[in-house]
Amino acid sequence: MTIDTSNPLLAPMDQLMDYQSIRPEQIEPAITHLLEKARKAVQSAADPALPATWEAVITPLDDIMQPLWRAWTIVGHLKSVVSDAPLREAFNQILGPVTEFGAWVGLHEGLYQQYLRLKNNPDFVNWSPARQRVIELSIRDFLLSGVALQGEKRERFAQIAQASSEVAQKFSENILDANDAWSLTLDDESRLQGLPDDVIARFRQQAQTDKDTANGDTADEVNAWKITLKMPDYLPVMQYAKDRELRQTLYRAYATLASDQGDTQYDNTEQIERSLALRAEKSALLDFEHFAAMQLETRMADDAPQVLNFLRDLAQRALPFARRDLKDLQAFAQSELGLDTLEPWDVGYASEQLRRARYDYSEEEIKPYLPQPRVIDGLFKMLKQLFDLTFEPTSMKLWHNDAQAFKVFAGNQESLGYLIMDLTAREGKQAGAWVNQERDRRRVSDHLQTPIVYLTCNFAPAAPGEPARLTHDDLITLFHEMGHALHALLGQVDEPGASAFSAVEWDAIELPSQFMENFCWEYPVLETLTGHVETGAPLPKPLFDKLLAARNFQSGMQTVRQIEFAMFDMLLHNQPKGLEIGDVMQTLQSVRDEVAVIHPPAWHRFPHAFSHLFAGGYAAGYYSYKWAEVLSADAYAAFEETGNVLDTAMGERYRQEILAVGGLRPAAESFRAFRGRDAQLDALLRHGGMTALTDQAHA
């Protein structure tokens, strides 16, 4: 097979990618070529005649594997941010071979034996900690990949890996398609009363764009308003729209997305049932009691009972606050809004009205002070002060005009890598916010390969002629994702297999991200990164004080909601076999009966769009958010104790003990190295304003 060497997906690892030149028809030949090279490299690395040294086995294997996974990451990323039919078709065409290859490597007994030989090399004790860690984790992962299986079990394990990948991809596609397919166009602007002017203007622009597209050119100005289910549209309607029927319409559409209660061509019922069945079968083949037990082999938590006990303990601490929050909201809705019955589609609207009444504050007052360019500049200045980092804009041929690339330097001008930010919601872009890594840090012969990191969000686009404006919640999301990005960029581990995203336990990976969220509540930080779109003035201190006073508004309700998701996830996967959809919904109901204070209607289909569980890698791991929040709150408390949360000495300590070490050691050891002790729950409860009632409840 002759390969086109000009194919951008085959670019050398030390060359920056030209994303604009990647075409769907280039994906299959490039990935196929890289897979063939990788298969040969695995066979060569598994040769027992090779000396049991890192240089003979691992270095040549990494030299071939790194370009393959880089190209595949790029393809997956493009499918997430600029998806269209040709790109999706090309991705799905090669998904099977990529999945099959991954399963083949995990089941490769010869390569597994080679890793055992490396571990038993008498010189192994003199290897660097990073190399020792890579070998030890690889041996563990081989066992979890079924390498010890034989015969039909081995064959079935490989089939499950491929089927699981296909199911997750279909689950994700159904959500994206269902979301893109739904819209509501209004011809009566009065139904948008209560919504911010910029949101109404965007709805009108969306309707105008549809008409222009239909006509093939610029059409007459429309008198219509188009609303989608994307977050920049959905959230303002649920939060501000006075029209109760409009809120109910959007609530139902979003709550039934990709389900039997919505557009049934995108129904994810089959994907949920198949996913759970495949996971249960996979764990049984490895002699685990259930999928949760298998997943927890690689986590900080010991077992499912420990996780469930943690969640239930936290629920008992939060429930008194959650019940108080709901009682206050119901009373306000009845007395001030005339809502005798508080329906789920009323909660966001009534909550915003109560927040305004209680704190004389609204998110809309903050937005003019958060123009996106000013926020990014202020964030970079904060990171300069805290970690001595510099972000320099750089020209790269990116996938969309919304994306921006920065080269990141340490204070001594050491190049740390590249950060590519794509922050705007648009059609064909997967919802949510995430960070991914195209290229790892790696020492390659005479030079250091630095990371390339993607930071993706879905904020509202800018109005014509104006900068995009963020909400404070958007700001928190941006800081959260930046925490993940810093974990990759500031790692000092030169072996990819021991990097943060490869080796940090899943229930600790959210520590750096949630840690960063805390700075969004510090006035010195907000003073730096805010600037009114018209005057440039920073956020006024009195307005910040209102924002801060409202920080823990409904924190009890928010906490039990996250616990609900985490318990549902753990109980779903704490089963020896898969579940039918009726049992899935019953599990969810039983969790709500135990920990929830708000109960959605019977037709609500939350699981059908729960991408974290069925397409995002958080299966039996959603508890990680709360688990890691204990770590992150306690870590941030160390900064608070200095009297200056931007203390550079503490920033350097945090960088060295948490970020720089990546996955070089267990996360619990890294936390103890930073804090001098194990994590404590106190800071999390204090940050959430859940102390006084908790003390009363446990008196």
The angle formed by the CA atoms of residues 361, 365 and 366, to the nearest 5 degrees, is 105
CA distance 166 to 173: 10
Q: Which backbone phi and psi does 117 adopt, to 5 degrees?
A: -60, -40
Contact residues for 93 (Cβ-Cβ < 8 A; gap 6+) = 27, 28
Cα separation of the two ends of the chain: 74
Contact residues for 106 (Cβ-Cβ < 8 A; gap 6+) = 141, 142, 145, 146, 147, 161
| Half-sphere exposure (Cβ direction) of 234: Cα atoms closer than 13 Å | 23
CA distance 71 to 91: 12
CA distance 662 to 487: 7
CA distance 673 to 638: 12
CA distance 582 to 600: 16
What DSSP designation does 498 have?
G
Contact residues for 300 (Cβ-Cβ < 8 A; gap 6+) = 505, 507, 508, 627, 666, 667, 668
- No. of H helices and E strands in the chain? 28, 9
Given a contact cutoff of 8 angstroms between Cβ atoms, the answer to whether 31 and 71 are in contact is yes
Structure tokens at 562: 């996250």
Given a contact cutoff of 8 angstroms between Cβ atoms, the answer to whether 37 and 1 are in contact is no
Structure tokens at 393: 């804009």
Q: Which residues are catalytic?
A: 481
Given a contact cutoff of 8 angstroms between Cβ atoms, the answer to whether 324 and 693 are in contact is yes
CA distance 460 to 437: 24
Structure tokens at 417: 């890598």
CA distance 130 to 443: 12
